[in-house]
Amino acid sequence: MSRLLWLLPVLAAGGLPVWAQSAPASGTISTQEEFFDIYAEHPRLFLGAQRLRLLRRERERRTMRWLQFETLVTGGAPMPEPGFAYALFYQVSGDVVTGQKAVDWALSPRAADLRQLALVFDWCQPLLDDRDREALAAKLRARADELEKDSSLPARRSRVLAMAALAGHNSFRPSPFFENLVKKWWRGQIAPVLKAGRDAIPRDESFPLLEILHVVRDNLQIDLREDVPFWFKELPIYHLLSYYPASYPASENEYRIPAGKRLGEPDTRRALFSRAAELAMVAFETNAPETQVLQGWLMHDRFLLRGTLGIPYEFLWANPYQPGLSYYHIPLVHHDPKFGRLFVRSSWEEDAVWLGYWDGQLQIFQDGSPANLKLDASQPPLSFPDVLVATAGLVAKCQIRLEEDQELLIVGLKPHTRYEFEVEDLEMFEVKSDAGGIVHLKLPRKKMLDFRTREAAAGQS
């Protein structure tokens, strides 16, 4: 697809981002010796020396992110995540009163969010006397034990933060936990599933995954992306193309809404954590072309998270000084055959028509709202500047015309199955569908073609 190639010279020349070029090939694990003990001083969760300098410079310069954060905290606005918000404010400003509010919250009976408890323990160490430190450490251990059998990614993320925060306290060594996390969970369970083309990390769980990646790399010098570089290379563009085109104006700020299977009122909480994940992606890898494009997507002030839930994430992860590349130069079509998903836009404008096909579902967004589409013969082809999208039910027998720059994408076929195609003026040929039942064909353009397809006699291979 000539028009679907990256137009950015750096992408055309480089292919994989810098970290992926130097990483082991997919399916291999680095032979460099790994250590799972943590000896770093507090704070060791997210607030490395470089990021802390950046945030304190934001405060000195009185930037809009800092001013919004400061206004809400000092103005007494109820913060949905008070431990996180007050502890972050304390680390950046040095304000002991606000820091003590974080400690008081963490020690209160109502505080049960392990992630926030870990952040308070890590970020507010100078404010903890021996008795409070022991009480909070005991609370962390107890809550982590309660979540031990919870296999969800958010629960695992919270335990990762807790174990890292507790490292060294009363000679506690979480090295067995982290060795299990890296070798058994990530390399033994998650990475093999991703390599097999099954999405073990749903889009909505990108943020807890990014927090795990940050903690592991910052404290163990292990980059988990090296086990599945192709998946992480695709992740920023997958996020970007899987948003509906139209923004959603909420009371605190505008949101970009991620596509979802459930139709109805936009979920601004999903949108908030989707943006937080993308900010954390850019913070994790600033040099890759894909994240530089994502940075260009993120740095629009009208999408800045200004509410009481969002502003701590916005302030912590955003870097307005990081250069970004224009997303207008990336393709309007994102077809990922490894995972069998497709996203198409008619343009980068907010009134664009958008099409998504993932997990066997076909959805369109136009005229301000999404709708599900059928995959049978009743659904006519959907025309976009670069592609014509047809359903499996339609192409059993139909006529198709491709315009000058279009190629054909067929959705809704059986996954990993060979199909025979009969096209006017061409010899019959076979093509195997991808993991989602998508086939991509280049056919003669500017003429009406009689078109038939059927499953090949050999069946599924």
**Segment 417-426, tens digit of pLDDT:** 999 999 988 9
H helix runs in 259-398, sequence order: 268-284, 289-298, 311-317
The separation between CA 20 and the C-alpha centre of its own chain, rounded to angstroms, equals 17
Report whether 266 contacts 259 (CB < 8 A). no
Q: Tell the burial category of 422 from Cβ atoms under 10 Å away from its Cβ (0-12, 13-18, 19+).
A: middle
Nearest CA among 396, 388, 405, 402 for reference residue 443: 402
For 163-189, write each residue's pLDDT tens digit.
Answer: 999 999 999 999 999 999 999 999 999
Q: What is the dihedral of CA 223, 224, 225, 228, to 10 degrees?
A: 140
Spell out, as residue ranges, where the chain has pLDDT lower than 70. 1-31, 458-461
CA 441, 444, 449, 452 torsion-angle sign: negative
Q: Within the chain, how many helices (H) and strands (E) appear?
A: 16, 15
pLDDT given at position 14 = 38
Say how far apart CA 255 and CA 246 lie, in whole Å. 9
Say how far apart CA 419 and CA 433 lie, in whole Å. 7
pLDDT given at position 424 = 86
Say how far apart CA 23 and CA 226 lie, in whole Å. 5
DSSP state of 112: -
Backbone angles phi, psi at 252, to 5 degrees: -90, -35
Nearest CA among 372, 362, 451, 447 for reference residue 413: 362
Domains, the chain, ranges and CATH?
2-328 (1.50.10.100), 333-460 (no CATH)
Q: How many CB atoms lie within 10 A of CB 448?
A: 10
Give ∠ CA 115-188-22 in degrees, rounded to 5: 90
CA 278, 280, 283, 286 torsion-angle sign: negative
What are the distances in angstroms from CA 432 to CA 17, 280, 292, 397, 422? 29, 37, 34, 18, 14
